[in-house]
């Protein structure tokens, strides 16, 4: 391999999601001081010429690389946790951020079974000595607090029965609420009640009836209210929701929180039927397999770990 090609390969190994550890061993470890200097001089994206005429790592890239070297470790730790502990810790981390991550709270509360959501709440008690409901009420002061508390407190019916007449009636309730521009939808008592207590089969029936009445999908008509849109998608079309997160996050130019979403989605969906549906939705919507996209963007052992996980659902 020419020096230019080797330098390009090493730069790629430093970029993306995770790092290519094997290339560092086979290439970088063999470089002498002159080759290392040549690499620094040739790579103005990572190294800056100091006023004292030496090439120094850009501080931002140092922090970024530390996070990338830790990406595999974080994924493995999350993957080996008991599912209830994992969800409880994700709840806590989402709430402790300066701006709480509503999407993490929503996707966990709305896509888990009633038993697993209850288990996560019990785990939260054991780990943090108080309830998830208390923490949401403490950390979130905005108008969405009531809905989020209701969602994490929910214990939905999971049987096969759906009252078709009630589903049609409640679809009309949603139609009227959305058409009434005077009300704040996220504070509407009927919307909070329907989304937080109805079974997922019932909500999917409402979703279908809404489309029949209006010609639009319910989540499409909630485009001005991101939180409600995410709630509806997680309850009614979770595979579409998770596919969108993955396609948005599997890029080189995204923020750290978006990169973390790749690990969270793949690890937390690994043991669910969701993963097979997510892969099918991803390929149908974006014309590429999830495995191919991971192969394109991720590096090294982290990439291999993700690919092994998603292959289980083949």
State yes or no: pLDDT of 51 exceeds 80: no
pLDDT digits (tens, 9 = 90+) for 9-32: 888 888 889 999 998 999 999 999
pLDDT above 90 covers what percent of the chain?
A: 73
pLDDT digits (tens, 9 = 90+) for 195-210: 999 999 999 999 999 9
State yes or no: pLDDT of 183 exceeds 90: no
Rg of the chain on CA atoms, in Å = 23
pLDDT above 70 covers what percent of the chain?
A: 99
pLDDT at 272: 67
* DSSP state letter for 298: B
pLDDT at 297: 93
Write down the mean pLDDT value for the chain: 93
More confident residue, 48 or 210: 210
pLDDT digits (tens, 9 = 90+) for 247-280: 999 998 888 888 899 999 999 999 868 899 999 9
251 phi, psi to nearest 5 deg: -140, 160
For residue 84, the tally of other CB atoms under 10 A from its CB is 21
More confident residue, 198 or 64: 198
State yes or no: pLDDT of 168 exceeds 90: yes
pLDDT digits (tens, 9 = 90+) for 235-249: 999 999 999 999 999
Is residue 212 within 8 Å of 250, Cβ to Cβ? no
Residues in the chain: 314
- What are the structural domains, with CATH classification, of the chain? 164-237 (1.10.220.10)
Please give the C-alpha separations between residue 165 and each of 171, 191, 207, in angstroms, as whole numbers: 10, 17, 14
pLDDT at 2: 83
Q: Give CA–CA dist 263/78, Å, rounded.
A: 9
pLDDT digits (tens, 9 = 90+) for 111-165: 999 999 999 999 999 999 999 999 999 999 889 999 999 999 999 999 999 999 9
Q: Give CA–CA dist 196/210, Å, rounded.
A: 18
User: How would DSSP label each residue in 206-273?
Assistant: HHHHHHHHHSS-TTGGGTT-HHHHHHHHHHH-HHHHHHHHHHHHSSSS--HHHHHHHHHHHHHTTTST
Residue of 214, 174, 209 lying closest to 191 (CA atoms): 174
DSSP reduced 3-state for 49: strand
pLDDT at 314: 80
């Amino acid at each position: 391999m020419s020096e230019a090609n080797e330098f390009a390969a090493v730069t790629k190994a430093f970029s993306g999601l995770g790092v290519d550890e094997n290339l560092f061993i086979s290439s970088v470890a063999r470089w002498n001081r002159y080759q290392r200097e040549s690499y620094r001089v040739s790579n103005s994206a990572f190294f800056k010429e100091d006023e004292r005429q030496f090439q120094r790592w850009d501080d931002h890239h140092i922090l970024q690389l530390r996070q990338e070297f830790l990406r595999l470790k974080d994924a493995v730790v999350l993957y080996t946790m008991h599912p209830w502990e994992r969800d409880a810790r994700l709840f806590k981390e989402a709430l402790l951020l300066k701006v709480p991550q509503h999407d993490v709270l929503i996707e966990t509360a709305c896509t888990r079974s009633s038993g697993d959501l209850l288990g996560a709440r019990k785990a939260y008690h054991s780990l943090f000595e108080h309830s998830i409901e208390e923490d949401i009420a403490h950390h979130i002061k905005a108008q969405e607090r009531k809905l989020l508390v209701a969602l994490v407190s929910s214990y939905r019916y999971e049987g096969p029965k759906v009252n078709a007449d009630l589903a049609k009636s409640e679809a009309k309730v949603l139609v009227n609420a959305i058409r009434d521009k005077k009300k704040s939808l996220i504070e509407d008592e009927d919307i909070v009640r329907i989304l937080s207590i109805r079974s997922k089969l019932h909500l999917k029936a409402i979703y279908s009836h809404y489309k029949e009445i209006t010609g639009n999908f319910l989540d499409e008509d909630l485009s001005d209210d991101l939180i409600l849109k995410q709630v509806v998608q997680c309850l009614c079309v979770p595979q579409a929701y998770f596919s969108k997160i993955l396609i948005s996050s599997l890029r080189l130019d995204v923020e750290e929180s978006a990169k973390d979403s790749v690990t969270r989605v793949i690890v937390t969906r690994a043991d669910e039927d969701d993963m097979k549906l997510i892969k099918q939705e991803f390929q149908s919507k974006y014309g590429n397999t999830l495995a191919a996209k991971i192969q394109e963007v991720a590096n090294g052992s982290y990439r291999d770990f993700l690919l092994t996980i998603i292959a289980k659902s083949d």
